[in-house]
Amino acid sequence: MPGPIAFQGALGAYSHEACQAARPDWEVLPCRTFEDTIEAVRAGRARAAMLPVENSIYGRVADIHRLLPESGLHIVDEAFVRVKIALLARPGVKLKDVKTARAHLVLLPQCAAFLRAHGITPEAASDNAGAAADLAANGRNDEAALASALAARTYGLDVLAEGIEDEDTNTTRFLIMEPDARMDRRGSTGMMTTFVFEVRNIPAALYKAMGGFATNGVNMTKLESYMVGGSFTATRFYADIEGHPDDRNVQLALEELAYFTSYLKVLGTYPRDPRRD
Domain residue extents for the chain = 5-82+171-178, 86-162, 191-272
CATH, domain range 191-272: 3.30.70.260
Cα separation, 155 vs 53, whole angstroms: 27
pLDDT band (50, 70, 90) for residue 153? very high
Cα separation, 132 vs 120, whole angstroms: 16
Cα separation, 217 vs 236, whole angstroms: 23
Does residue 145 register a pLDDT over 90? yes
**Who has greater pLDDT, 231 or 10?**
10
Count of other CB atoms within 10 angstroms of residue 235: 13
Note the pLDDT tens digit of each residue in 26-60: 999 999 999 999 999 999 999 999 999 999 988 88
- Homologous superfamily (CATH) for 86-162: Periplasmic binding protein-like II (3.40.190.10)
CA 240, 243, 244, 245 torsion-angle sign = negative
The residue type found at 271 is P
In percent, the amount of the chain with pLDDT more than 70 equals 98
Does residue 172 register a pLDDT over 80? yes
pLDDT band (50, 70, 90) for residue 201? confident
The residue type found at 260 is F
DSSP three-state, residue 200: coil
Does residue 231 register a pLDDT over 70? no
Q: Which H/E stretch holds residue 132?
A: helix 128-138
Burial class (CB in 10 A: 0-12, 13-18, 19+), 118: middle
Domains 5-82+171-178 and 86-162 share a fold: yes
pLDDT for position 234? 64
Indicate the class that CATH gives domain 5-82+171-178: alpha beta
**Mean pLDDT calculated for residue range 157-180:** 96
Burial 191-229 (b: 16+ CB within 10 A, else e): bbbbbbbbbeeeeebbebbbebbeebebeeeeeeeeeee
**Who has greater pLDDT, 202 or 68?**
68
Task: Please answer whether residues 151 and 157 qualify as being in contact, where contact means their C-beta atoms are separated by less than 8 angstroms.
Answer: yes
Note the pLDDT tens digit of each residue in 70-99: 999 999 999 999 999 999 999 999 999 999
Q: Which H/E stretch holds residue 207?
A: helix 205-215
Bond prior to 24 in cis (omega within 30° of 0)? no
Positions marked active-site:
172, 174
Note the pLDDT tens digit of each residue in 106-131: 899 999 999 999 999 999 998 999 99
Cα separation, 50 vs 196, whole angstroms: 19
Cα separation, 171 vs 57, whole angstroms: 8
